Amino acid sequence: MDVTENAFLMNCWYVAAWDHELHDGKILARTLLNKPVVLFRGESGNYVALDDRCCHRAAPLSMGRLEGDCIRCMYHGLKFDDSGTCVEIPGQDRIPPTFTVYSYPIEERNHLIWIWMGNPALADTDLILDYPPLGDPNWRGLPGYLHYAANYLLIVDNLSDIGHLAFVHTNTLGGSEEYAYVSKPNLVEREPWGFRLERWHRDADAPPYHQKVISDRTAKVDRRNATEVHAPGIFLMETMFSPAGSGDESLEGGARQYRNSQYMTPETASSTHFFWNYMHNFDLDNPNIAVSLRDSLIEAFHEDKALIEAQQTKLENDPSFRLRVLGADEGLTHVRQILQKRIDAERAAINDESVGSRSAG
Amino acid sequence: MDVTENAFLMNCWYVAAWDHELHDGKILARTLLNKPVVLFRGESGNYVALDDRCCHRAAPLSMGRLEGDCIRCMYHGLKFDDSGTCVEIPGQDRIPPTFTVYSYPIEERNHLIWIWMGNPALADTDLILDYPPLGDPNWRGLPGYLHYAANYLLIVDNLSDIGHLAFVHTNTLGGSEEYAYVSKPNLVEREPWGFRLERWHRDADAPPYHQKVISDRTAKVDRRNATEVHAPGIFLMETMFSPAGSGDESLEGGARQYRNSQYMTPETASSTHFFWNYMHNFDLDNPNIAVSLRDSLIEAFHEDKALIEAQQTKLENDPSFRLRVLGADEGLTHVRQILQKRIDAERAAINDESVGSRSAG
Amino acid sequence: MDVTENAFLMNCWYVAAWDHELHDGKILARTLLNKPVVLFRGESGNYVALDDRCCHRAAPLSMGRLEGDCIRCMYHGLKFDDSGTCVEIPGQDRIPPTFTVYSYPIEERNHLIWIWMGNPALADTDLILDYPPLGDPNWRGLPGYLHYAANYLLIVDNLSDIGHLAFVHTNTLGGSEEYAYVSKPNLVEREPWGFRLERWHRDADAPPYHQKVISDRTAKVDRRNATEVHAPGIFLMETMFSPAGSGDESLEGGARQYRNSQYMTPETASSTHFFWNYMHNFDLDNPNIAVSLRDSLIEAFHEDKALIEAQQTKLENDPSFRLRVLGADEGLTHVRQILQKRIDAERAAINDESVGSRSAG
Convert the pLDDT of each residue in A147-156 to its tens digit: 999 999 999 9
Cβ distance C157 to B99 less than 8 Å, yes or no, reads no
C146 to chain B, closest Cα gap in Å: 20
pLDDT band at C357 (very low <50, low <70, confident <90, very high): very low
CA distance A69 to A84: 11
**pLDDT score for B357:** 44
**Per-residue model confidence (pLDDT) at position A355:** 45
pLDDT at C51: 98
Percentage helix, strand, coil, to 5, in chain A? 30, 30, 40
Q: State the Cα torsion B313-B315-B316-B320 to the nearest 10°.
A: 150
Q: For A5-14, A74-83, A266-275, B227-236, which range has the lowest pLDDT when averaged over its residues? A: A5-14
Q: Dihedral of the CA atoms C59, C62, C65, C68 (nearest 10)?
A: 120
Q: Looking at the predicted structure, is the pLDDT value of residue B113 above 50?
A: yes
Identify the band that residue B261 occupies on the pLDDT scale cut at 50, 70 and 90. Answer: very high
User: pLDDT at position A67, please?
Assistant: 98
What is the rounded average pLDDT of the residues A18-30?
A: 97
pTM: 0.93
Of C36, C58, C92, the CB nearest to A326: C92
- Which helix (H) or strand (E) covers residue A18, if one does? strand A13-18
B58/C311 touch (CB, cutoff 8 Å), yes or no: yes
**What's the CA gap between A193 and A179, in Å, rounded?**
28
pLDDT of residue A251: 56
Determine the residue of chain A that is closest to B185 in CA distance. A91
**Among the ranges given (A80-84, B215-219, B235-239, C313-317), the one the predictor scored with the smallest mean pLDDT:** B215-219
Chain C residues contacting A via beta carbons under 8 Å: 34, 36, 52-53, 55-60, 63, 72-77, 89-92, 96, 98-99, 361
The yes-or-no verdict on residue C70 having pLDDT over 50 is: yes
Q: What is the pLDDT of residue A131?
A: 98
Q: Which of A57-61, B154-158, B167-171, B347-351 has the lowest mean pLDDT?
A: B347-351
Please say if the pLDDT value at position B86 is more than 90.
Answer: yes
Considering only A345-354, B25-34, B237-246, which range has the smallest mean pLDDT? A345-354
Q: Tell me the chain A residues in contact with residue C57 when contact means C-beta distances shorter than 8 Å.
A: 157, 311, 323-324
Dihedral angle at the C-alpha atoms of A177, A178, A184, A185, nearest 10 degrees? 50
- Helices of type H across chain B: 152-160, 165-168, 178-182, 208-211, 287-317, 330-352
* pLDDT at C3 (0 to 100): 59
The partner residue sitting opposite B56, judged by closest CB among C181, C317, C326, is: C326
**A253/C122: higher pLDDT:** C122
Average pLDDT for B109-116: 98
Cα–Cα distance for residue pair C60/A4, rounded to 1 Å: 18
What pLDDT is attached to residue A79? 98
Q: Do B59 and C167 touch (CB under 8 A)?
A: no
Single-letter code of the amino acid located at A184: K
Which of C36, C74, C89 lies nearest to residue A326, judging by beta carbons?
A: C89
If interface means Cβ-Cβ distance under 8 Å, which residues of chain A face chain C? 157, 161, 163-164, 166-168, 177, 180-181, 183, 185, 306-307, 310-311, 314-315, 317-318, 320-321, 323-324, 326-328
Mean pLDDT value of segment A10-24:
97
pLDDT of residue B237: 97
Q: How confident is the model at residue B353, as a pLDDT?
A: 63
| pLDDT score recorded for residue B323 | 92
State pLDDT tens for residues C16-48: 999 999 999 999 999 999 999 999 999 999 999
Contact list, C96 vs chain A (CB under 8 Å): 324
C168 vs B74: CB contact, 8 Å cut-off? yes
Smallest CA-to-CA distance from C307 within A49, A354, B59 is with B59
- Please state, in angstroms and as integers, the Cα–Cα distance from residue C184 to each residue in A358, C164, C190, following that order: 76, 15, 18
Mean pLDDT to the nearest integer, C99-114: 98
Q: What average pLDDT does the structure give for chain A?
A: 93
A361: pLDDT confidence band, cut at 50, 70 and 90?
very low
Q: Is C281 left (phi over 0), alpha (psi -120 to 50) or beta?
A: alpha
Residue A90: pLDDT band with limits 50, 70, 90: very high
Residue C326 with chain B: CB contacts under 8 Å: 56, 76, 89, 92
Residues C243-285 have pLDDT tens digits of 998 866 655 567 899 999 999 999 999 999 999 999 999 999 9
Going by C-alpha positions, the residue among C199, C169, C206 that lies closest to residue C297 is: C169
Which residue, A294, A236, A297, A234, is CA-closest to A265?
A: A234
Confidence of residue A354 (pLDDT cuts 50, 70, 90): low
Work out the mean pLDDT of chain C and round it to a whole number: 93
Q: Residues C159, C150: contact at Cβ < 8 Å? A: no
Q: State yes or no: pLDDT of B288 exceeds 80.
A: yes
**Residue type, position A161, single letter:** D
Q: What would the pLDDT profile of B178-207 be if each residue is shown by its tens digit? A: 999 988 778 889 999 999 999 999 999 999
pLDDT digits (tens, 9 = 90+) for A287-341: 999 999 999 999 999 999 999 999 999 999 999 999 999 999 999 999 999 999 9
List the one residue out of B147, B148, B158, B153 whose CA is nearest residue B3. Answer: B153
pLDDT of C73 strictly over 90 = yes
* Per-residue confidence (pLDDT) for residue C361, from 0 to 100: 36
What is the rounded average pLDDT of the residues C91-98? 94
Judged by CB atoms closer than 8 Å, whether chains meet at C317 and B36 is answered as yes
Q: Which region among A250-264, B56-70, B213-227, C167-181 has the lowest average model confidence (pLDDT)?
A: A250-264
Q: Which amino acid is at A87?
A: V
Q: Do C56 and A328 touch (CB under 8 A)?
A: no
Top pLDDT among C356 and C338 is at C338
CA distance B317 to chain C (A): 22
Say how far apart CA B126 and CA B106 lie, in whole Å: 13
Q: How many CB pairs under 8 A join A and B?
A: 74
The angle, 0 to 180 degrees and rounded to 10, between the axes of the packed helices A152-160 and A330-352 is 140
Number of Cβ within a 10 Å radius of residue B63? 18
Residues C55, C99 contacting (CB under 8 angstroms): yes
Residues of A with CB under 8 A from a CB of B: 34, 36, 52-53, 55-60, 63, 72-77, 89-92, 96, 98-99, 361
Q: What percent of chain B has pLDDT over 70?
A: 94
Chains that touch B (3 or more CB pairs under 8 A): A, C
Considering only CA atoms, give the Rg of chain C.
22
C227 Cα to chain A: minimum distance (Å):
37
Q: A234 or C162: whose pLDDT is higher? A: A234
pLDDT in tens, B145-181: 999 999 999 999 999 998 999 999 999 999 999 999 9
Query: Which chains share 3+ C-beta pairs under 8 angstroms with C?
Result: A, B
pLDDT surpasses 70 at C165: yes
